[in-house]
Structure 1
Amino acid sequence: MKTWLRRIHLTFALVSAIFLVNLSLTGTLLVFAKDIQAWCNPQYWTVADSQILKRQNTPLATSEIVNQIDLLTPSSILFIERNESPSSAWQVRLADKSYVSINQYTGDVLLHYQYQDTFYGFVMGWHRWLLYSEGDEHPLGLLPPLASLILCLELILGFYLWVRPKNRLKRLKVRWQAKNKVRFMQLHNVLGVYSLIPLFLIAFSGLAFYFKDATQAVVEVVTLSQIQTPQKVTLSTVRQAETLKTTPENYQLDKAVASAQAVFEDAWVYRVYMPQSQEEPVKLRMRRPDESHAYSYSWSNPFTGDVIDSFDASQTSLATRVWNFKYSYHIGNFIALPVKFIWLFLGLLPTFFVVSGIYIFVKRRANPHAKVKTKV
């Protein structure tokens, strides 16, 4: 049984080696990709401290940002994404799928770009669909999540192979003076055991972006609760047909934002979604202090600026909060900066497991009768 499990463990590794290494390296890069991007070209992604001080850390009104974008392009705005850091520029997504990086204090357009033309977008495209796309379709997009699934299985198999023999705790040591084959075997086992839970959850949270229904079902079973999602809100549901004669130029965007912030006084506005039809409200995605990311929402009538509905994600079920935490956990963006460095190390482990596993296999094939001594 143990021999067959080892063969399965090896086969999975060999079949998925290229894709596991790809996920490992690109995932590691993504932990600090935006920071690297801003460091290499600060003129596109950051704003000067003098401008922040001049505006007393107060950005332009939403309507002024919209007016500046309208001067740049006839394409309509899908959303305006704010940044919690005062020195980081805001990003605007347009209907033509391009983006605009804008100085939120002066309204100056810093860069008009396509997502995958940036370092972060390039690495993300490499990580999620291997850079190959046909329009909006990604033919190779299923390969990375399958590699994540194999990583989950490999971690479970590897743990079983470690835990089954006796003296398992004594084998959680590395004899640095031993031969390379022995040392790599011990490192492979020790790092695999210690990283099992966090690495498994990173892989599982990655699967959640592709196999949503299946992973949601797992979260609901584990937490014994149901995942709650906000319902779609339209202006027609509140019967404000009289406002539909008003043109988009008369949107009360600033009042809509202020009204939403009055509902969630302690929340930070992450995104402002612009109406794409006369039946759509202004949707604001907001982050409350108890949330790992922005999952609360407020909907406002764009013609009056009044709030018509809201969704407080911080008061939802355990399953909902666990589900919403997946993104922050996957990228290591929680608690404090040191967590990102831990995730940097964890992200490189699949590459180490693939390389060390193949090395051990080759050594065994070269000397099939030799036994690896793992005594401590």
Structure 2
Amino acid sequence: MTVTATAPARVFDDVLNLDTLLTPGELELRSTVRDFVDERIRPNIAGWYEDAHFPLELVPELGKLGVLGMHLKGYGCPGRSAVEYGLAAMELEAGDSGLRTFVSVQGSLAMTAIHKWGSEEQRNEHLPAMARGEKIGCFGLTEPTAGSDPSSMATFAAPDGAGGWVINGAKRWIGLASVAQIAVIWANTAEGIRGFIVPTDTPGFTATPISAKLSMRASIQCDITLDDVRLPANALLPGAHGLRGPFSCLNEARYGIIWGAMGAARDSYEAALAYAGDRLQFGKPLAGYQLTQEKLVNMLLEIQKGTLLALHTGRLKDAGTLEPVQISVGKLNNVREAIAICREARTILGGNGITLDYSPLRHANNLESVRTYEGTDEVHTLILGQRITGISAFRQE
């Protein structure tokens, strides 16, 4: 099916002049990614979403754009700043959460795991090709019965008696698994949780796309089964011991979400504002009514505040002083506010807003997934609650 979405006019009003807080290089990077989104994603995204199609042809283009593992240094990676990565995430998610999610899974999860915890041999083998978009990676942490509590994962890796490993278990909601060439799989061992690089053509590894989704339709999420998957000794990520390994990668992905969610919110606001200026009701534009103006003002306020929060978080990250709890502040706030903005934008569009001709409801549906992955609202609330009170509420003692 061919669906052509109505692109919003460029009508966002940077009331706080936040652009003055960005360097010329950061503004140039943002413009480059924005142009890519306008040219390659916007004209096609409604059809991709309708058809539940992930455009694999964009992967090498994203590599050429320099957004795959863009915050990583060396091994063919772009080595850009945290703020630059955030700006790219914002522009990509203004196109669609599914495309920003691909960049996040590839760079913030799979590539970061190898870059941070892998051997020199593993880095040289995988990272350059992944940065170019010639090799796709996925990140297998979540399980059917272990989402917010990865410490209870049942996937187990045991020595095979010949120096290698054999893995058995299952993973769920694993982005890109059916199109990836390698999977970073986290498994329990006799010595705690460890990470493994698993070629997806290894016997016993099966990835099955999850269909009939109401969210993230222009993206791929899978179930993975691992049935006596045998690996050599050098499949082990030597630097990763315990949950610190996967959590360090999750924090990279959560950071990108802080920015990305504001991209979806901004795009929805722009669509609603443009529509309100053109749509006549009772003899004048919708934008001329007090209730509509209140909705638009409230959206603008939250986008400006959320963008300022993202930028402050990025500056802290570039300075090397960002704490995980601060990432939770941004992820919890910005995704929650972005969903509210997208839903409010849909009300301005009326009945037309439930069609794929306009972006807000598509963004809102996608953000339900973004709100859930990389830590639910409840998880980030409890992280902040522990910081405030000094008491962990995650488990009953």
Q: TM-score, structure 1 length as denominator?
A: 0.26
Structure of larger gyration radius? 1
Q: TM-score, structure 2 length as denominator?
A: 0.25
